């Protein structure tokens, strides 16, 4: 089988033949149909999140069950599935407390079932390694979906959609008629926008430096847009919220500067939700500590939209099938694995919302 391997940070991925071990107890082998390119993949490839090499990136995936290991009962060979980086043991404190997305049983990247032709172990990014024709994951990472669900769109559900949409609906639990600002309107930001619109928020204000992405945000439910390079974005938000600032601000990119800007856009007792993974070298600091206390504001993190895979993925599929969730509009281009470096470059340059690697014969 072929896979795209990162041997050196900041260099193009190497497409080569690799070996995949069979699934062990509790594991599922998947014949991948599609894997979308997420900015987290780009951070890993550039070395901005640290970690070991060589690694096979990719984690926003879908495909068909090819083989199951011992004791696997939730899926069977031939099932169409979404494969996510969220693995849960079902036994730890967080799993038993209804927070399986916070399970810490397994590391996010680990030496899994992949080896190159020299016998060298390849790290599986996010426990998936979706830039490959096949992968082996834990049963808890796999959710069956209806066979009629298009798999290129289904792949988006495993990370970008649940991260943005879930941050609004699950983590922050935005109330109807609340004011919402989304800072950054890439793939995750657009899903935060449509999560806010789905929740009945008003106004829903999208903030970005790209006019084309702001136009896309309107399609996903933004009632207002602000280009932060064309004037004072903080004052623009204040004007759109009767001088108070927004009740909820979702920061989906931009690092420390965006976090500070998002905080300044929030109202008294407002909530700032941090979604995106900043580069490891960036360390936010809080020069606004006194205001943080005096205005009784809240800053919270949101990890993959506080998602319960077995519950949320079927719901999102139903919303898509009923026309209430936009997925088609997220995909800018579809590429074969042989053109993966071209697809990654397009995303990195801001030319695409989501590019999807589609495997031949899938």
Q: What is the pLDDT of residues 40-52, one digit of tens each?
A: 899 999 998 878 9
Q: pLDDT by residue (tens digit) across 182-232?
A: 999 999 999 999 999 999 999 999 999 999 999 999 999 999 999 999 999
Asked if residues 168 and 180 have their Cβ atoms less than 8 Å apart, the reply is: yes
Phi, psi of 355 (to 5 degrees): -100, 140
Using the predicted structure, report yes or no on whether residue 309 has a pLDDT greater than 80.
yes
Question: Cis bond leading into 203, ω under 30°?
Answer: yes
Average pLDDT of the residues in 317-336: 97
Residue 257: what pLDDT? 83
Average pLDDT of the residues in 227-248: 96
Q: Which bin fits 72, alpha (ψ -120 to 50), beta or left (φ > 0)?
A: beta
Asked if residues 184 and 274 have their Cβ atoms less than 8 Å apart, the reply is: no
Q: Which residue did the predictor score with more confidence, 67 or 292?
A: 67
Confidence bin at 282 (pLDDT 50/70/90): low
Using the predicted structure, report yes or no on whether residue 60 has a pLDDT greater than 90.
yes
Lowest mean per-residue pLDDT among 3-12, 71-80, 298-307: 298-307
Strand 266-274 to 246-251 pairing: parallel
Residue 294: what pLDDT? 74
Residue 287: what pLDDT? 57
Beta-strand ranges (E) seen in the chain are: 2-5, 14-20, 27-36, 55-56, 60-68, 80-83, 110-116, 121-124, 134-138, 142-144, 180-183, 204-208, 224-227, 246-251, 266-274, 298-301, 331-335, 354-358
Using the predicted structure, report yes or no on whether residue 285 has a pLDDT greater than 60.
no
User: What is the side-by-side order of every strand in the sheet holding 180-183?
Assistant: 224-227, 204-208, 180-183, 246-251, 266-274, 298-301
> What rounded mean pLDDT belongs to the chain?
92
Confidence bin at 75 (pLDDT 50/70/90): very high
Burial of 293 (0-12, 13-18, 19+ CB in 10 A): exposed
Q: Which residue did the predictor score with more confidence, 317 or 352?
A: 317
Q: pLDDT by residue (tens digit) across 102-156?
A: 997 766 656 678 999 999 999 999 899 999 999 999 999 999 999 999 999 999 9
The candidate with the shortest Cα–Cα distance to 40, out of 51, 29, 31, 30, is 51
Confidence bin at 87 (pLDDT 50/70/90): very high
């Amino acid at each position: 089988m072929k896979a795209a391997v990162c041997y050196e940070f900041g260099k193009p991925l190497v497409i080569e033949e690799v070996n995949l071990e069979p699934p062990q107890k509790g594991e599922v082998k998947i014949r991948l149909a599609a894997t979308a390119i997420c900015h987290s993949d780009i951070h890993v490839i550039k070395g901005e999140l640290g970690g070991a090499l060589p690694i096979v990136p990719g984690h926003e995936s879908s495909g068909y069950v090819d083989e199951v290991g011992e004791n696997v009962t939730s899926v069977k060979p031939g099932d169409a599935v979404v494969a996510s980086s969220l693995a849960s043991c079902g036994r730890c404190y967080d799993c038993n407390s209804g927070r399986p997305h916070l399970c810490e049983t397994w590391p996010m990247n680990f030496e899994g079932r992949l080896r190159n032709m020299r016998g060298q172990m390849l790290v599986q990014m996010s426990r998936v390694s979706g830039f490959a024709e096949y992968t082996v994951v834990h049963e808890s990472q796999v959710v069956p979906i209806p066979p009629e669900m298009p798999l290129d769109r289904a792949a988006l559900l495993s990370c970008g959609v649940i991260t943005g949409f879930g941050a609004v609906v699950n983590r922050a639990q935005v109330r109807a008629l609340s004011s919402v600002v989304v800072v950054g309107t890439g793939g995750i930001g657009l899903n935060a926008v449509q999560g806010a619109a789905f929740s009945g928020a008003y106004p829903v204000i999208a903030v970005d430096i790209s006019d084309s992405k702001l136009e896309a945000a309107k399609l996903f439910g933004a009632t207002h847009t602000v280009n932060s390079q064309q004037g004072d974005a903080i004052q623009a938000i204040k004007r759109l919220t009767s001088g108070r600032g927004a009740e909820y601000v979702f920061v989906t990119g931009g690092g420390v500067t965006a976090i500070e800007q998002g905080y300044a856009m929030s109202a008294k007792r407002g909530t700032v939700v941090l979604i995106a993974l900043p580069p490891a070298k960036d360390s936010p600091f809080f020069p606004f500590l006194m205001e943080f206390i005096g205005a009784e504001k809240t800053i919270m993190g949101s990890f993959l939209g506080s998602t319960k895979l077995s519950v949320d993925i079927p719901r999102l599929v139903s919303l898509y099938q009923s026309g209430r969730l936009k997925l088609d509009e997220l995909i800018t281009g579809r590429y074969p694995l042989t053109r993966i470096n071209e697809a990654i470059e397009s995303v990195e340059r801001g030319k695409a919302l989501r590019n999807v690697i589609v495997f031949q014969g899938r």
